[in-house]
Chain A
Amino acid sequence: MDERFVLVGPRTPVLPPSRRKKWYEGKPLLSMALLAVILLGCLGCELFMPKDPVYMDLFHAVQAPDSEFWFGTDTMGRDIFSMIWYGGRASLLIGALATAISTALAVLFGAVSGLAPGWLDGLLMRLTEIFLSIPSLLLIILLQAVLGKASVASLSLVIGVTGWTGMAKVVCSEVRRLRSSEYVLAAKCMGAGFFHVLGRHLAPNFFSSIMFMVVMNVRSAIAAESTLSFMGLGLPLEIISWGSMLSLAEKALLSGAWWIILIPGAFLVATLLCVTNIGNWLRGEGDRRESNL
């Protein structure tokens, strides 16, 4: 095309005669299906597990995948195929629990801070910043020590408590935007309390804007569980989860047992990817106008 004559302006693309969108278009169906398979498999693992996941069969330690042990065995002789499904429960449960905790904290903190006068809001935000600047490793070690031996509940609490600040900021700015609307004023004039205003008037309005962050929080909580367990700060070896399975990885590296590292990790990454795709879909596409460029 001759560079001197470039058409400038919004182009109206030639569209086929208006076609209704099929129900499945634009939805991450593959991710949803895969996530559903993993979820159902973990929940109903008793129905099809060939072996007891906690039984240590020392005669068959570090066996490569074969017809008896489909995914091989780990350094303690446990069947990895059974462990994957059984251990997935702990990983997914931690993802859900930690997200519930951090969402609750974020909504509460964000709403208080958003409804507060400017100086208090500034102070609270500065405090969050300082909280964020304490190395999270130190906080995690402290919390673990206070809560005693690591369990699914304590680890969820630790991950939830250290992961709410980003969402709190969004809630705060949303509340700030909403708080002077007429219906909130009306509710306040009629004597509504803090929790009534939050639950009835504010939460339904900012829910859609934090939905994406909630889903992403599930992802980072599952990733945090696996990282902490891998570092030896999370679940111990005898509580099976994808993270604690991977904590055997250092030993597996020495013996070259790739299945101990690759298989639980593949499940972990697949789950994280599905959750991310669903989260991205919830965030929605931004500006759909034609590019001016």
Chain B
Amino acid sequence: MRRKDPFFYYGGKLLSFLFSVFLLSLAAFYVARLAPGDPLVSYYGDRAEKMTVQERAQAESRLGLDQPIHVQYVRWLENALRGDFGISYKYKTDVRSVISARLPNTLLLGGVGFLLIFAGALALGAVCAWHEGTRLDRFLCRAGTIVSCIPEFWLALVLILVFAVRLRWLPSSGAYAIGGGGFIDRAVHLILPLTVTVAGHLWYYAYMIRNKLLEEVRADYVLLAKSIGLSRRAVLFRHCLRGVLPAYLSLMAISVPHILGGTYIVEMVFSYPGIGTLSYESARYQDYNLLMLLCIMSGGLVILCNILAQIVSERIDPRMRSEEPPEVTG
């Protein structure tokens, strides 16, 4: 009963996206408010602890924290739909400006990292499949497994120890030097965080490409292609890789939030001013409005990417549609 009309198809996807984001915001709102902790501390700092009962009550009612949670939620939702996400308790400015000051840093790190992982995994997987069973393939598999076992934070620590503390070649923290900010300066500050981000994910995807390609070269059409005289290279890159690509694309769509989320830890270790450190702070210190917008953004990205992956696999690769098992009842 799949509707072929693209209007219904994409409309349905849009509706389910909006509904999921709504549920997500509801869940995040309740989870954040139910977590013990004092949001006044993030607004007033240490002064919050010395407040009298009346001052507290006043402060709470000014921030709207004295209402029951569902009332607070409805009010938040009304404002959010008008594009007003409130002010950050800690930074005392519009949460949008707090986030937009940091977002480019994370997008730079995550975006470049994602592209490197995407291209690198494809190349590495293809190299392994091309040289299947040889010493190079075995070496790459061994090395990849070892690297993928190293926790990101520890790799970051070791790199800082070697390249920043011992050799003093690279800076250990931040996104740019004080007063700096030119292209070279930024690039130098990106090397270590980027290395950790890429090393943490690369092998997972490369190995998947390798295994899918190895399945693919055992298919019968490869025999046909070879018997009509296509070279080994043409078969692998023009035909087998194409068969693998849809699955890879949909996997990569799902992985966008993973890779962006993985920068959390990297940002923390390198004190890189990005969304990751911001989320950590806001969740830790009950900066509700900031936390909500960050949750909606990151959660929305997860849901969006999942839907994109579905669309890729359903629309681009016709095999995926027919492979769906028929519904069995019983």
Contacts and interface: CB of A to CB of B under 8 A. Distances in A.
B67 to A, nearest CB: 21
Contact of A8 (B150, B226, B330): B226
Interface in B256-272: 257, 261, 264-265, 268
A267 B178 CA distance: 38
A291 B223 contact: no
Contact of B154 (A9, A179, A268): A268
Contacts of A9: 223, 227
Interface in B147-204: 148-154, 157-158, 160-161, 165-166, 172
A104 interface: no
Interface of B: 16, 20, 23-24, 27-28, 31-32, 34-37, 132, 145-146, 148-154, 157-158, 160-161, 165-166, 172, 211, 214-215, 217-220, 222-223, 226-227, 231-232, 235-236, 240, 257, 261, 264-265, 268, 279-280, 283-284, 291, 294-295, 298-300, 302-303, 306, 325, 327-330
Nearest to B172: A253
A138 interface: yes
Interface residues of A, number: 53
Nearest to A291: B217
B223 A8 contact: yes
B37 A138 contact: no
A223 B240 CA distance: 35
A162 to B, nearest CB: 13
Contacts of B151: 223, 226-227, 265, 268-269, 272
A265 B158 contact: yes
A280 B34 CA distance: 41
A132 B284 CA distance: 20
B298 A135 contact: yes
Contacts of A261: 154, 157-158, 161
A246 B165 contact: no
Interface stretch (A69-77, A139-147, A194-202): A139-147
Given A129-B20, A135-B299, A8 B145 contact: no
Nearest to A290: B218
Contacts of A133: 20, 24, 257, 298-300, 302-303
Contacts of B158: 261-262, 265
A276 interface: yes
A145 B284 CA distance: 10
A136 to B, nearest CB: 8
A176 B329 CA distance: 10
A130 B23 CA distance: 8
